[in-house]
Each structure stands twice: as structure tokens, then as C-alpha cells.
Structure 1
């Protein structure tokens, strides 16, 4: 659920009326049963900012928290999705990260989806909210649940120190492409730190040029080399970074497709 409700192609609803939307939601939950279609019609077609206004208006006109009413009416994954839609982006990200870390086991895919795809400002905002809301330190929690080079990549991303300019230094592009090749395909073993240094620090425009030059040197796409050189969560996070640099939209579209494909292949209980 790491991308849900935060970013996408939802645009502001024309003729937006928070009072009318709040009443639609109230009507959808009154009486016996719940009109889930009406809830979807409103919340799935409003921007994050518009949903916040609906929440405020609902509380003013009904005297109750919208989230509380929805919790009492909905269950399962649908409830999680709807409640996620009501959260501002950093709140949602912090909530998902906490859920991914606490308890037995760790949802590494959630950590990867969020930290590999967010901007510096988004990471700083979610970290601040996490630390305040949960009275815990996000970096400490991540370090307590992960290890090795995977942990080091997560910590690097968590510093929110990526160059976000559009400057491209062609000499550095050539050097980075050469360094990545020599750190992986051209040697026995893999210099994972070199991949971290380049992929977690350089700006998007620069990295796109590095990927082009890497293709010329290695004779294969950087993604193919990462798959050949790494495995497990480390492979997953470096692939996520590369794919988000190429296209965040395509990255999350693929994640969504795979999540539905997996569910579709699970046999129904007898």
C-alpha cells in the first residue's frame, strides 16, 4: 500500500463542494448497510487537499471524525484503502513505515517503495511526522529491523541528500558509468558501495545519462547488471531506485500489476 493516496494523476474535481461531498459520505453510511460505491465516487476522485477539506467539513457539520465513521462501517483492505486516502502524504508514508517495521518481521517492500521514490522534501516531512507522532526515531527503527548493505542504502536515502538539480556533467557521467561497470560486471564480486554512492546521490537527469553510457560500456542495461550482480532486498532496492529515476509512474504501475497478478494466481479456499 506504499503508494496509495499520495501521488498520481487525480486532478481537482470541477465545481468542488466540500459540504455536498460531506453530506454524500454521511448519507452513504446512514441506516442499514453502507453505500461503498458512493464512498469511492467521492474520495477516489478528489485530490489530497480536497479530501482534507471534506474531513474538516464533515467534522463541522456532523460533529464526528470522518475516519471514525468510516472505520465503524468498513472492514478489510477496503477500509485500509479508504482511510489511506484521507491521510496527507507524509502522514500516510509515516503510517505505512511504522506498520512495516513494528511487530514480527519487516515489510521490506514497503520500505523500498517509499524511500526509493520520494523526494528530499517528502522524506524530510515523513521523517519529522514519524518521529513526532510515534515518539521514535525512524532511522533507529529501520536500523533495528534491517542489516548489511540493504540497511546502508535505506539510511543513505533517509538522509534526503540527493542532488535534485538538473545539472549534468558529461565528464562525471562517463566516470560514473565506468565506475559502475568496474564495480560490477568487470570484476569478481561487486563493489556495492560504489552503486550506493552513485545511485543514491546523483540527480535524475545525470543518472539517466549514466544509464545510457553504461549501456554502451557494458552492452546491457543497468537493470540487467543489477540482477546479475545482486540478490534479495539489495537487488530490489537498487532496481527500484533505477526504475524510479526512469519513471515513477511506470514503477508503481508495474508494482500494482504484479500485486494483482499474484492475487489472481492464488487458488481459492475450498
Structure 2
């Protein structure tokens, strides 16, 4: 599968030469932020790791420490995000979401709903290795109810593969009976079916559900559930329909309204730039009355804006 990312590995890559450029950009008085952002947004994450190694070999210093010492604010956060291997980034984001003051449910929802079952298994293993803690236990200690149950199901990374033709209608009926048809909602049916079926299968179930109930799955979830559970169920449904569309919407709402949710904006731009940013841009343009590029431009400033626009890599005006 060809990468749908905007960031591709650089062809004439030379880790030592890149390390030299970064060293010069931070040496002496003042920092050449432009040189740093131009270089790092034009290298893949794997190449950035090689640059980090070369930097230490050549100069006996830690590149991440130097960047943190020279940069500041949101721009620093974005650059450090780009310098972090994707798996380590997800693991750290989840850890901070659980261990910070209050739980950041938004991060739990976004990562566990959008990553593939294989990625989730890698995250669980890496979390154990990094913190010597059990991610499932940590999440259970911080969440409750059906929200917790669905997170635990997603953490297993055991979704069925492919489409189970025989269960499309019965799944749709079970969801209908659990929600629209009865007084009160049987959340467990939603949790079990949405947490365990493949994306392809769920798309068929949503079509059957629409025929049966006259409602889109999302409409029913909004009416039948609330709070964190609603957010997680909606994220699972949206990711089953289209992960890029889910992230396009996530980016839109991170910038819409008063104040920008920079944490979310940085997380999505950094983690999707090598995965599906081209598709996210297309979906963004389709769903909203503007391009992702123009919204970032209007909502951010300085080197931070410049780096984000390079990751966006083009305007779909």
C-alpha cells in the first residue's frame, strides 16, 4: 500500500550532514528556527532517528535536549513530537492522559479508536516495557462503566477479520433492539458489537441498521448515549467508516471556535503526516467549507504555523 502521507523519506539522505545543519542552526547566538523546521518536516520519522544518533556521535550531545533548550512553546512541542518514534509517541500520550491531573479521555478515545489492532497490541507491549505497568489496569483505574468496558475491548486488539455475511442483519437488529426500539438503552450490545467487528463488517451493519431504523448509526448513538461513552462510540463508528474523515473532523474542531486546541492539532498533524494526511486533506475539503491549509493558516502563527503548513503540504482551495 502506498503511503498517503505528506511526509516522505528524503531521497538523498545523509544523517551526518543533517546533524551538522541542525548543530549550526542552534550554535552561537540566536537559533535558526527556519533551518530546523525546513529540515525536520522534510525527513521521515525513521530518518529523524538516524539524525538523532549521528548528532550524538558527532557532537556528544543529545539532539532532543538541545532542541528543547533552543525552542519554546507550541513550536517546540510540535518539533519534539516529530522527533519521537510513532509508537513511543502514542505510549507517552496515553501515559500522560492517564497519569496527569484528571484523565484526558479525548486522548484515550482518539488513539484507541483509530489505531489498527496490530498497533494497539504494540502499544500495550511498549507501555509495559517503558513503565513496567499494565495499560489496561491503568485505564481501568481511571475510567468506569461502559466507557471502560469498550476501552478494554479495544485494548485486546482482537477485532474479527473481514465481513461475516451471516451476522450483518443480526448485528443490526441487536443494535436496533438495544437502542431505538426499547425504552432505555442496552449499552452493552453497542459496546460488544462496535468493539469487536471489523471496519468492513461494521460498514455493512450501519447500512442494514439505517434500513431497519431509518437512522444513521451516529444519530442513534447521540440520542441513546452521552458523555465519554458517546464520544468513544462515535469515534469507533467514524473510524470504521473512514479514519481520514475522523481525523479531518478532529482537526476541524481543534481549530474551530474560541481558542485552538493545540495539543490535539499537534498530535494529529505529527502522527498522521506519514500515514494518511493526503486523505485527511481531501476529506477536510469535502466536509468543511475550507481547506485544512487555510484553517491552519488562519488559526496559528510564527514558526509553529510554518511547520504545520509544511506538514500539511499543500492547499486544496
TM-score (norm 1): 0.90
Offset at residue 45 of structure 1 (A): 2.4
> What does residue 248 of structure 1 align with?
243
1:142 maps to what in 2? Answer: 139
Structure 2: segments with no counterpart, 5+ residues: 262-317
Aligned mate of 2:214, from 219, 239, 242: 219
Alpha-carbon separation, structure 2, partners of 1:227 and 1:68: 45
Structure 1 residue 95 and structure 2 residue 92: aligned? Answer: yes
Q: Deviations over 1:181-212 (max 9, x none)?
A: 11111111111111111111111111111111
Any idea what the Cα deviations from partners look like across 1:136-191, whole Å, max 9, x if unmatched? 2211111111111111111111111112x33x232211111111111111111111
What pairs up with 1:96-135 in 2 under 5 angstroms?
96-135=93-132
Per-residue CA distance 1:28-52 (angstroms, 9 max, x = gap): 2112222222222122222221211
Which residues of 2 match residues 195-234 of structure 1 at below 5 A? 195-234=190-229
**Aligned with residue 186 of structure 1, among 181, 186, 191:** 181
- Separation of aligned partners in 1, 2:34 and 2:92: 26
Q: Distance in 1 between matches of 2:255 and 2:5?
A: 18
Q: What does residue 13 of structure 1 align with?
A: 10
Q: How far, CA to CA, are the matches of 1:127 and 1:35 in structure 2?
A: 38
Q: Equivalent residue for 1:4?
A: none
1:19 deviates by 2.1
Instruction: Give CA deviations for 1:226-252 in whole Å, capped at 9, x if unaligned.
Output: 111111110000100111111111111
The reply on whether 1:160 has 2:157 as its aligned counterpart is yes
Which moves more between the two structures, 98-107 or 18-27?
18-27
CA distance, structure 2, for counterparts of residue 63 and residue 18 of structure 1? 15
The alpha-carbon distance between structure 1 residues 262 and 26, as it changes in their structure 2 partners (threshold 3 A), is farther
Which residue of structure 1 lines up, in the alignment, with residue 171 of structure 2? 176
TM-score, with structure 2 as normaliser: 0.77
Q: Quote the residue 1:36 is aligned against.
A: 33
Q: Which structure carries more relative contact order (alpha carbon 8 Å, separation 6+)?
A: 2
SS of equivalent to 1:116: helix
How many Å separate the matches in 2 of 1:134 and 1:242?
A: 31
How large is the Cα RMSD of the aligned pairs? 1.7
- Per the TM alignment, residue 264 of structure 1 is displaced from its structure 2 partner at its CA by 4.1
Match 1:235 to one of 230, 234, 237: 230
Other structure's SS at 1:109 match: helix
Please give the alpha-carbon distance, in whole angstroms, between the structure 2 residues aligned to 1:233 and 1:183. Answer: 19
State which drifts further: 12-21 or 98-107: 12-21
Unpaired runs of 5+ residues, structure 1, are: 1-6
